[in-house]
């Protein structure tokens, strides 16, 4: 036996597994669940720890190629591993943008060296220009199964309709960054009391609601699957809930900062609290939380968006985005599990099961014979977020100074321990 995890609380909503047991691993596979004795190359006492299928973050920016001073595929993957994440979907707004098989190959080849599963999306329009559509068939053959111009919307609705039609032919999922740029009109934080008090231009919530409504209407008309990125408004939640009820093939995601914080954080005039879409109001935050619990929102993602400290220094001019891979599980456990809103099984659904389902990837299960891909975490570990200790090259976290309860301890991918908190703390 290569590895035995002793006395771990294994939870997999897909198989109904939810008990304290041992897990034995050999040649990358789970070979036994049950009493496994103690004879293996490595035996880990997991008393008090949970094991869930490895987390999958379907919305991350690794800035590679071209913007590697912010992050690269290896440092991004290191952040993922430290957060219990064994699979990621990269957004295509690198430099050049990921819109050709050549760039896809560069990313996937480098990703294959990380020890976790790195996938990439590609652009909807060439260079994310909003102009001509990319060659989806060629991208599909290069290994792409999701397209998006994330970072911006496809402004031309007819072009988006055509992309959705082609996505059906090519069996791809379209991910949409829902923000109408004309309504945003240079705004930098949520438009409301806080933007007024600070005297800065606001981003009207209608910018998000309007494009969410447009995308669900277009997807319905094409019979296509649309996935709405980083939902932040109650309006968007209501549109998606109604569309799902009507049988539209729509799925969506949100990030921990949207169900943890509101735009009151911006009173600090600190650009580390700026992202797009922006932190909204308590009414939005509560609606996002409710939608996570009632199944309207399918996935928790991070929108991990690294930016250099110099870029974030100026509140008004800083680019939007926050890192999140190393805090996502902790923030979710703290807010939803310790907040008494849901159990570990639901969190596994939101962070592990549903993202793979939405993307049409094979499920990762905790069962005998399955490839061993696990996130092992201590639900009770208390820790405070110190940005300088993050593995990401950039430290622009919205959770700096926050104390969380719950943290990834071991991350296992293809049967290999790719992250071990104790070892990591001794090295760094
Ligand atoms: O805040 C954001 N930052 N939102 C996005 O959609 C893009 C991202 C980035 O690439 O920095
Ligand atoms: Zn986006």
User: Residues with Cβ within 5 Å of ion ligand 2?
Assistant: 150, 177, 229
Strands 416-420 and 403-413: antiparallel
Separation CA 398–CA 256 (nearest Å) = 10
* pLDDT, mean of residues 246-252: 98
Which DSSP letter does residue 79 get?
H
Q: Is 322 helix (H, G, I), strand (E, B) or coil?
A: strand
> What is the per-residue pLDDT for 116?
98
* pLDDT, mean of residues 14-19: 98
Ligand 1 centroid to residue 84 C-alpha, Å: 22
- Is 294 among the residues known to form the active site? no
- Measure Cα distances from 34 to 10, 11, 26, 120, 377 in Å: 11, 13, 15, 37, 19
> What is the per-residue pLDDT for 427?
79
Give residue ranges with CB within 6 A of ligand 1.
Answer: 61, 93, 150-151, 177, 275-276, 303, 305, 319-321
- Mean pLDDT rounded to a whole number for the chain: 98
Contact partners, residue 122, CB within 8 Å, separation at least 6: 92, 98, 99, 103, 104, 134, 139, 144, 146, 147
Q: What is the pLDDT of residues 414-424, one digit of tens each?
A: 999 999 999 99
- For 89-120, b/e burial (b = at least 16 CB within 10 A) is bbbbbbeebbbbbebbebbbebbeebbbbbbb
Q: Which of 209, 303, 420, 424 is catalytic?
A: 303
Atom of ligand 1 nearest to the CA of 276: 1
Atom of ligand 1 nearest to the CA of 151: 6
Separation CA 50–CA 317 (nearest Å) = 42
Q: What is the pLDDT of residues 307-345, one digit of tens each?
A: 999 999 999 999 999 999 999 999 999 999 999 999 999
Separation CA 363–CA 92 (nearest Å) = 24
Separation CA 77–CA 304 (nearest Å) = 11
Give the residue, by CA position, lying nearest to ligand 1 atom 6.
151
Q: Assign 428 a pLDDT band (cuts: 50, 70, 90).
A: low
Ligand 2 centroid to residue 150 C-alpha, Å: 4
- Measure Cα distances from 89 to 122, 298, 340 in Å: 10, 16, 30
Q: What is the pLDDT of residues 120-176, one digit of tens each?
A: 999 999 999 999 999 999 999 999 999 999 999 999 999 999 999 999 999 999 999
Contact partners, residue 289, CB within 8 Å, separation at least 6: 259, 335, 336, 341
Ligand 2 centroid to residue 97 C-alpha, Å: 14
Contact 227, 172 (CB under 8 A): no
Strand residues in 240-370 grouped as ranges (E): 250-254, 299-300
Q: What is the pLDDT of residues 197-246, one digit of tens each?
A: 999 999 999 999 999 999 999 999 999 999 999 999 999 999 999 999 99
């Amino acid at each position: 036996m290569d590895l035995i995890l002793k006395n771990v609380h294994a939870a997999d909503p897909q198989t109904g597994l939810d008990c304290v047991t041992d897990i034995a691993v050999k040649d990358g596979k789970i070979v036994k669940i049950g009493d496994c004795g103690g004879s293996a190359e490595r035996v880990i006492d997991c008393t008090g720890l949970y094991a869930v299928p490895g987390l999958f973050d379907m919305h991350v920016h690794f800035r590679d190629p071209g913007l590697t001073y912010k992050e690269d595929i290896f440092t991004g993957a290191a952040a993922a591993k430290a957060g219990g994440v064994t699979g990621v979907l990269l957004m295509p707004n690198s430099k050049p943008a990921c819109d050709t098989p050549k760039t896809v190959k560069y990313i996937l080849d480098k990703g294959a060296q990380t020890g976790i599963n790195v996938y990439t999306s590609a652009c909807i329009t060439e260079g994310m220009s909003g102009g001509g559509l990319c060659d989806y068939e060629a991208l599909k053959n290069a290994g792409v199964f999701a397209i998006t111009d994330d970072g911006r919307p496809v402004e031309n609705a007819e072009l988006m309709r055509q992309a959705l039609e082609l996505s059906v032919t090519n069996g791809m999922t379209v991910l949409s960054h829902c923000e109408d740029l004309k309504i945003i009109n240079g705004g930098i934080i949520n438009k409301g009391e806080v933007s007024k008090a600070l005297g800065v231009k606001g981003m009207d919530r209608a910018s998000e609601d309007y494009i969410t409504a447009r995308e669900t209407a277009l997807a319905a008309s094409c019979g296509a699957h649309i996935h709405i990125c980083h939902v932040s408004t109650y309006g968007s939640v209501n549109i998606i809930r109604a569309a799902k009820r009507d049988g539209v093939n729509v799925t969506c995601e949100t990030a921990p900062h949207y169900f943890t914080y509101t735009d009151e954080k911006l009173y600090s005039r600190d650009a580390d609290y700026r992202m797009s879409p922006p932190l909204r109001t308590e009414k939005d935050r509560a609606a996002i939380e409710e939608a996570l619990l009632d199944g309207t929102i399918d996935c928790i993602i991070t929108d991990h968006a690294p930016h250099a400290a110099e870029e974030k220094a100026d509140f008004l001019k800083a680019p939007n985005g926050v890192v999140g891979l190393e805090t996502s599980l902790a923030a979710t456990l703290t807010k939803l599990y310790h907040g008494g809103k849901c159990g570990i099984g639901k969190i596994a659904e939101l962070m592990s099961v549903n993202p793979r389902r939405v993307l049409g990837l094979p499920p990762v299960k905790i069962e005998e014979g399955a490839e061993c891909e696990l996130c092992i975490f201590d639900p009770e570990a208390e820790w405070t977020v110190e940005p300088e200790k993050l593995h990401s090259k950039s430290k622009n976290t919205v959770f700096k100074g926050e104390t969380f309860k719950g943290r990834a301890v071991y991350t296992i991918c293809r049967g290999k321990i790719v992250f071990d908190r104790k070892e990591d703390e001794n090295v760094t």
